């Protein structure tokens, strides 16, 4: 029986430890995000409705419990890293000049750091006295 | 662009190619929303008024249609990603790749249609109420 090579995921890389780490990270974080991201979307679109999710709702209700702040921070970290590695794969697929890759990936990694820093600040300090 | 769109329709196009192309497009779309979402959530503590303004857009008719598209991208990416993980970590499952592909679409429709309805129904609440009223139910 014939199986399209694209039915499988990207072939597991050999040699580079970084590439093997990323290959496993994409799959493990993907399974975690299957639960975390779909739960996040379901809670905030099916159980609650965006028309009710004001800043007061987030600070007074959702983020009044440490559990949800930690949960949201975990989701933030995993989704930012998972999507960064995903976009990195796309960049490497379409950009072939070494110069273009270095510039584009540098911009991508700067954006990644900004998202992690800004998101962590928001989830850790929003609503705290003096914040 | 033609070359990549053509991939969808040429004789070489099989389930795997379509799955791969949709996975890539949905992934990039989710990434774009992620950037916006970190920006808006940053405003919760920094400028709650501006955050509430963005929220009003999310709850608007255009916002809700975009949320349905976001949810569809998320659900597709999640289901197809799980299919990839299953085949990559248990290579013997590759012989069932077409079954997994079709099953992922069945789950997509079964979860996606009610999900889309829940997101869009508030737009029709007034007409639904008056319809029920006319029918004498409420």
pLDDT digits (tens, 9 = 90+) for B79-133: 999 999 999 999 888 888 889 999 999 999 999 999 999 999 988 887 888 888 8
- Please determine, for residue A1, whether its predicted confidence score (pLDDT) is greater than 80: no
C-alpha to C-alpha distance for A106 and A112, rounded to whole angstroms:
10
- Is pLDDT of A113 > 70? yes
Gap from B73 CA to chain A (nearest CA, Å): 11
pLDDT at residue A16, rounded to an integer: 87
pLDDT in tens, A20-55: 999 999 999 999 999 999 999 999 999 999 999 999
Q: How far is A97 from chain B (nearest CA, A)?
A: 19
Contact flag A80-B34 (C-beta cutoff 8 Å)? yes
In total, how many domains does chain B have? 1
Residue of B nearest to A93 (CA): B24
Question: CB of A116 within 8 A of CB of A76?
Answer: yes
Cβ contacts (< 8 Å) between B67 and chain A: which residues?
45, 50
Range A68-84 average pLDDT? 97
Distances (CA, A) of B73 to A66, B35, B66: 29, 16, 11
User: Can you tell me the distance from the alpha carbon of B22 to that of A22, in angstroms, rounded to the nearest whole number?
Assistant: 21
**Cα of A78 to nearest chain B Cα, Å:** 12
pLDDT at A131: 47
Q: By percentage, how much of chain B surpasses pLDDT 70?
A: 90
| Binary contact (B42, A119; C-beta < 8 A) | yes
Q: Report the pLDDT value the prediction gives residue B1, as an integer from 0 to 100.
A: 61
Has residue A68 got a pLDDT over 90? yes
Domain ranges, residue B59: 2-134
| pLDDT score, position B93 | 87
Say how far apart CA B16 and CA B22 lie, in whole Å: 10
**Residue B137 pLDDT level (bands cut at 50, 70, 90):** confident
CATH number where B119 lies: 1.20.1300.10
pLDDT over 90 at B4, yes or no = no
The pLDDT of residue B16: 79
Of residues A12 and A15, the one with the higher pLDDT is: A12
pLDDT value of position A129: 62
For A95, residues 6+ apart whose C-beta sits below 8 A from its C-beta are A101, A104
Confidence tier at B18 by pLDDT (50, 70, 90): confident
Task: Please indicate whether, in this complex, the C-beta atoms of A45 and B31 are within 8 angstroms of each other.
Answer: no
Residues B94, A7: C-beta atoms closer than 8 Å: yes
> Residue range B15-41: average pLDDT?
94
Q: Which one has a higher pLDDT value, B84 or A129? A: B84
CB contact under 8 A, B14 and A4: yes
| The pLDDT value given to residue A128 | 74
Chosen CATH of A12-125 out of 3.40.190.10, 3.40.140.10, 1.20.1300.10, 2.40.440.10 = 1.20.1300.10
pLDDT of residue B124: 87
Percent of chain A whose pLDDT exceeds 70: 92
| pLDDT for the residue A45 | 95
- Predicted confidence at residue B9, as pLDDT, reads 55
Residues B11-28: what's their mean pLDDT?
83
Alpha carbon B79 to chain centroid, angstroms: 11
DSSP at A89: H
Q: What is the mean pLDDT of chain B?
A: 89
The residue extents of the domains of chain A are 12-125
Q: Give a three-class secondary structure readout of chain B.
A: CHHHHHHHHCCCCCHHHHHHHHHHHHHHHHHHHHHHHHHHHHHHHHCHHHHHHHHHHHCCHHHHHHHHHHHHHHHHHHHHHHHHHHHHHCHHHHHHHHHHHHHHHHHHHHHHHHHHHHHHHHHHHHHHHHHHHHCCCC
Distances (CA, A) of A113 to A14, A84, A107, B33, B90: 28, 10, 10, 17, 34
């Amino acid at each position: 029986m014939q199986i399209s090579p694209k039915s499988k995921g990207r072939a597991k890389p050999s040699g580079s430890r970084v590439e093997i780490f990323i290959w496993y990270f994409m799959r493990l974080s993907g399974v975690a995000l299957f639960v975390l991201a779909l739960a996040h979307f379901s809670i905030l679109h099916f159980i609650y409705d965006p028309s009710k999710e004001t800043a007061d709702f987030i600070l007074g209700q959702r983020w009044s419990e440490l559990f949800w702040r930690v949960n949201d921070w975990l989701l933030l970290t995993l989704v930012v890293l998972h999507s960064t590695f995903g976009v990195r794969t796309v960049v490497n697929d379409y950009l072939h000049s070494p110069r273009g890759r270095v510039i584009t990936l540098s911009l991508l990694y700067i954006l990644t750091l900004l998202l992690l820093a800004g998101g962590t600040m928001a989830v850790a300090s929003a609503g705290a006295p003096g914040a | 662009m033609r070359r990549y769109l053509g991939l969808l329709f040429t004789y070489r196009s099989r389930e795997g190619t379509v799955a791969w192309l949709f996975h890539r497009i949905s992934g990039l779309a989710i990434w774009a929303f992620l950037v916006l979402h970190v920006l808006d959530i940053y405003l919760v503590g920094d400028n709650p008024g501006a955050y509430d303004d963005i929220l009003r857009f999310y709850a608007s008719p255009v916002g809700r249609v975009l949320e349905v598209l976001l949810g569809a991208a998320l659900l597709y990416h999640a289901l197809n990603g799980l299919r990839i993980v299953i085949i990559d970590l248990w290579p013997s499952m590759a012989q069932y790749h077409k079954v997994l592909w079709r099953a992922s679409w069945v789950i997509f429709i079964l979860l996606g249609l009610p999900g889309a309805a829940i997101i869009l129904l508030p737009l029709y609440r007034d007409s639904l109420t008056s319809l029920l009223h006319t029918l004498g139910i409420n």
